[in-house]
Amino acid sequence: MTQLSLAASNSDLAAEEGKTRPRDWSPANYDLRDAWFPVIFSRLVTPTPTRRIIHSQPYYLWRDPSQHGGRAQAAEFHPELLGRLRAQASAFTGGSGIYPTVERYGYVWAWYGNPDHANPELIPNIPFLPVDGKNIPVHMQRTARFDASSPLSVENLIDLTHADFLHADTIGDGLSASDIVECEWTSETVTRTRIVAQKSVAPVMRWIGGVRAKYQDLRAVLHVHVRSGVTISYPRFRPGHDIPNVQPFLPVGRFRSRVDVTQYAITAPFIFRMMMPRIAYLIQPQDNSVVRPQTERYIDDGERRDLHSRFDKPGFRYRHLLEQLAERQRNGDYSYLNDAEPGRDISQLLGMDR
């Protein structure tokens, strides 16, 4: 299969959707190519192959200490069948059966798209994680699954206010002296910054963070890579702690996403560092309780399936960028524009130097 036929299958999908409901936006329709996805935690890649899925495309991952210097390999087929099935390999591996891979930040990044375009410089920069992935504590890596496509799950995360009511029992309510939202973007990323003064102290900061004050300030930056769904988040609580984290929303299928989270609160006190990643087990079901019924609405034929608000600026920008990328890809343009630079250092953007 050539790149052209990849593009054709995209527009077939769009045409099929257009026939049923031309005016409804649906988060399930995006299949953006030429991107690096952190498909698996590096430590889980062993001689026994593990399968992951990106947009219904299989990725078998393994490593053999005696081959390729022990580097992680990713193939379209189980490695035992690779020799026999190689002739059926698709354009995603250029007919070789093997995907381009890079190990970085504790993940194996695999390329989804035309392998000739797989440039490691396009891997998102994550300034707070060790590049070689060494010394990332295992308990800081957690997996969550959502009954929603990757864009819908990302949209929920971008939504500023959802935490105030959905996660009020852990992250805190919406009471504060002031609450400012800023949004900036490139052709590939949306960055949303929320600056809250004198917010009620987050319950987790009281339980396990040792914060005794009544109020705290919060500066939370969320940096979203639109094409891949990799989201990089830097919340800073004062008094309190930094909770830098990566949530890569892997687009498994049209109604399912998988997130291999790294929550790297490495500068926080011991108890907080140990416990905070486990709070995810409280938070993620709360998020799924919202996105799952949303997904059902998009599938069912109802009056109005999409209830998005145009006043949600970062969310609206995210959708707009998704649509622009999809439009360019429908026209056969898979390139990254000059303003994008997914690999540029974002430590300043995240406010790590403040």
For residues 26 and 156, which CB has a smaller minimum distance to Fe ion in the complex? 156
Neighbours of 258 (CB within 10 A): 21
Instruction: Looking at the chain, list the stretches that DSSP marks H as alpha helix, in order from N- to C-terminal side.
Output: 3-20, 82-85, 150-158, 162-166, 203-207, 270-299, 313-330
For residues 100 and 248, which CB has a smaller minimum distance to Fe ion in the complex? 248
Q: Which stretch binds Fe ion (CB under 5 A): 44-52, 248-256, 286-294, 302-310?
A: 286-294
Shortest distance in whole angstroms from residue 262 CB to Fe ion? 17
For residues 242 and 287, which CB has a smaller minimum distance to Fe ion in the complex? 287
Shortest distance in whole angstroms from residue 290 CB to Fe ion? 8
For residues 154 and 208, which CB has a smaller minimum distance to Fe ion in the complex? 154
Neighbours of 200 (CB within 10 A): 17
In angstroms, rounded to a whole number, what is the distance separating the alpha carbons of residues 199 and 177?
Answer: 7
For residue 215, give both structure tokens: 């109020």
Shortest distance in whole angstroms from residue 163 CB to Fe ion? 6
User: Does position 287 bind Fe ion by CB under 5 A?
Assistant: yes
For residue 152, give both structure tokens: 């819908």
User: Does position 242 bind Fe ion by CB under 5 A?
Assistant: no
For residues 125 and 233, which CB has a smaller minimum distance to Fe ion in the complex? 233
**Long-range Cβ contacts of 77-81 (<8 Å, 24+ apart):** 78/49, 79/49
**Which residues are within 8 A (CB) of 2 and not within 5 positions of it... i.e. 6 or more apart?**
91
Q: Which stretch binds Fe ion (CB under 5 A): 88-96, 123-131, 271-279, 282-290?
A: 282-290
Site string for Fe ion, 96-135 (x = CB under 5 A): ----------------------------------------
> How far from 220 is each of 152, 254, 284, CA to CA, in Å?
20, 29, 18
Candidates 343, 96, 60; CA nearest to 228 is: 343
For residue 261, give both structure tokens: 């989270």
Q: Which stretch binds Fe ion (CB under 5 A): 2-10, 223-231, 280-288, 341-349?
A: 280-288
For residues 164 and 287, which CB has a smaller minimum distance to Fe ion in the complex? 287
In angstroms, rounded to a whole number, what is the distance separating the alpha carbons of residues 226 and 321?
Answer: 7
Q: Which stretch binds Fe ion (CB under 5 A): 103-111, 206-214, 284-292, 317-325?
A: 284-292
The residue written with tokens 């990643």 in the block is 277
For residues 122 and 157, which CB has a smaller minimum distance to Fe ion in the complex? 157
User: Does position 164 bind Fe ion by CB under 5 A?
Assistant: no
The residue number whose beta carbon is nearest to Fe ion equals 287
Which residues are near Fe ion by CB under 5 A? 287
